[in-house]
Structure 1
C-alpha cells in the first residue's frame, strides 16, 4: 500500500514528530510518500519518506515535509492521479476538514492547528503549545510594563494570530486575566472603557486587551481617545512565533496517541475515508 502524507498549516514541529514515528514504525505493508508544493514550478511533488529523510532533515535543520498551501490543494490534489506513484490513501495533517478532503483518493484528516477551531474535534494538535508560547510572550511584556512608571494608563492591545475569531483569543485572555474583543464595534468599546475605568480606580499602570489580527486596533484607539487620555501601544504576536521547536507535554501526548492510532489503523487494514477526533486528549477514528 502506498500512503501519501500532506501537511497543512504552521505546526511543523508536531507534524514532523508524527511523520518520524510513522517512518520508524517500519511497517512492511506500506510505503510512505510526502506531498509537497513546488513554489517555483507551481506544481505538486511526491517523494518517498524513509529513515534517510529523517537524517537529512536533521542534518539540514529542515522539516521532513514543508507546509502545503491550502489554497492550492484543490487543484494540486487532482494532479495526484496523474503521478507515476499510485497512492492508495492520503493522511491530511491539518487544514480545514471540509476544504482539504478529496473524493479521488481515500483520506484521513487529522486536526492539526494552533487555533483549535475544527467542529469535529474538541482539540487540535499544536493548540496547547501555541497558547503557552503566547502566554509566555505576554508575561514578558507584563514584566516590562509593571517596572515602568507612567503618568497615565498604558493600554496594550495585543494582537495574537488569526484573521478571524477563534478560541485562542478567549483562552489567552483567561490565561492572563485580561479582557478580549472580537471585533471593532460598540461592544468592544464598552469592554475597553469599563476595563480602563477599573484600572484607573485601582491606580494600576497598565491594561492588556487581547484581539486577533482581524480587529482594527487603530479604529479602537481613535474611539477611546475621545474619552480617555491613555498611552496606546500595540503589541503583535505572529503565527511563526507560536510554533517553536518544543511541543508542550500535552501536545507530546497527543502526538503519541495520533501516531499510535494511525499505525493501528494501518496494521489492522482498517483505513477508510474518515477523520481523527480528539476529546479529553483521547484520540478516536471516525469513518465519514
Structure 2
C-alpha cells in the first residue's frame, strides 16, 4: 500500500516502549491455544481474561522500558496511515448515510495490556474492546500470522487486520453487536456460535468495503496479502492445524472460504448494505 508521506492518525496510542513487560508464570502452549482461539477476537475478547486466569494462575507483570527500533517506528507510522484511511473513509460513508462516525483509538502494546474488557496478553491476538471502543494489537502477531498460520505476510495483511477490528467498531456504532448478543440469548451453543460467525464475517466484509474505497492507494499484491491472511485464520484451517479435525459447530469466526468470500464481497461492492451475513449464514 502507498503510505509514505501521507496523513497519519492521531488516534494511535503507541505503548510499545513503556507497556506490557513479561507476564510471569503460565504461557507456553497455553498462550498458543488462546492465540488460536481468539484470533481477531471481536466481542469475544471479553472472554480472554477468565480463561487466562483459570489456565495460567496468578501472574505478575514486569514492566520495562523498551526503545523502539527504526523498523518499529516505521511500522507504527504505517499503522497510523492505515488508521487515518479508515477514519477518512468511514467518516464519509457514515456522512453519506446521514450518520456521524465516532473514531476509535488503536492501542499498540507489547506482551500484555489492560483494557475495559479486562487484562490480555499477546496470546489474545488483535481484538476490539467494545467497553472502551478501542482496538488492541501487539504487532508481533503478524510474525505469528506468517510463521504459524502460513499467511504470505506483507504490510497489507496488517491493514486487513486493523480494518477488520475497526469493522467491529462499526458494528458497535450501528448497534449490531448488541443485537447479536440479544439474539444469542436462549440459544444452544452451536446456534450462538453461528451468530458469532456472522458478526466476524461482517467485520471481514467491512474490511473489504474499506479496501474498495481505498483503491487509489493500493498496490499490486495487496489484496492477495489480505486474502492469504483471511485464509490462514479460518476456523477450519486453525482446527486442522491444531487438532487434526474440523468441528463446524464450534466455529466462531467462519471458515477460510467464508472469510475470503465476505472480504471479497466488500471489496467488490463497496456498499455497506451488502454485508448481510446474518441473513446468509447457515
Given the two structures, how large is their TM-score scaled by the length of structure 2?
Answer: 0.23
**Higher strand residue share:** 1
Given the two structures, how large is their TM-score scaled by the length of structure 1?
Answer: 0.23
